[in-house]
Homo-oligomer: A and B are copies of this chain.
Amino acid sequence: RRVGYPEVIYCAGKTSGQVTAILKAMLEREVNILATRASRELYQEIREICPDARYSPLAGAVTIRRKEVKAPPGYIALVTAGTSDLPVAEEAAVTAELFGNRVERIVDVGVAGVHRLFFNLETIRGARVVIVVAGMEGALPSLVGGLVDKPVIAVPTSVGYGASFHGLSALLAMLNSCASGVSVVNIDNGYGAGYIASMINNL
């Protein structure tokens, strides 16, 4: 692992006792730490043992900075389709930023209001790598992939109802993207997208 790279705890399905035990061991190694899928209650408990822990309620993520991370020169564009996709997008942002990356957020540019996407095309095209977060029909990564010449990391979200089948619809759409240069992570996996985008931005 690169120096300064955070260690990560995925809190879902873990008791707060398990989380704080893991955390204590990490804190001894003096590393940066990211805890995802953390409730505000869990954050309160974490702050007991680590007062400099920060919390993003939108992302549900706790961050602890103990080491300086070298920032790469480029930036990551983070494109989000709708308001309900913001938690997943913010998990990606928090992850990428803790890894030292600059993140440019372009929100609410879903295909039903596509003109807003075109207003932001310069920012998107200027990035080294683009994360696109969308639920429901999951069309945005294909559209972005057709407009920019950079790797696109697509994140399907479970936003939607009925035939969205908890994100399956968006996932399949993204996997079938007719635009080249799109690859996909798991449904709601903002963390995974932030991680791989950071890797690419640091090449």
What residues of chain A have their CB less than 8 Å away from a CB belonging to chain B?
Answer: 1-2, 8, 12-14, 18, 22, 81-84, 110-114, 128-129, 136-139, 142-143, 145-147, 149-151, 153, 156, 158-189, 191-193, 195-196, 199-200, 203
Contacts and interface: CB of A to CB of B under 8 A. Distances in A.
Instruction: Name which of A22, A150, A153, A160 has the most chain B CB atoms within 10 A of its CB.
Output: A160
A84 to B, nearest CB: 4
A80 B29 CA distance: 25
Main secondary structure of the interface of A (DSSP, over half): mixed
A18 B162 CA distance: 23
Instruction: Name which of A14, A156, A173 has the most chain B CB atoms within 10 A of its CB.
Output: A173
Contacts of A203: 128-129, 151, 200, 203
5 contacts: A112-B142, A113-B146, A150-B199, A164-B172, A180-B192
Contacts of A162: 156, 158, 166-167, 171, 175-176, 186-189
Given A145-B112, A169-B172, A200-B203, A183 B180 contact: no
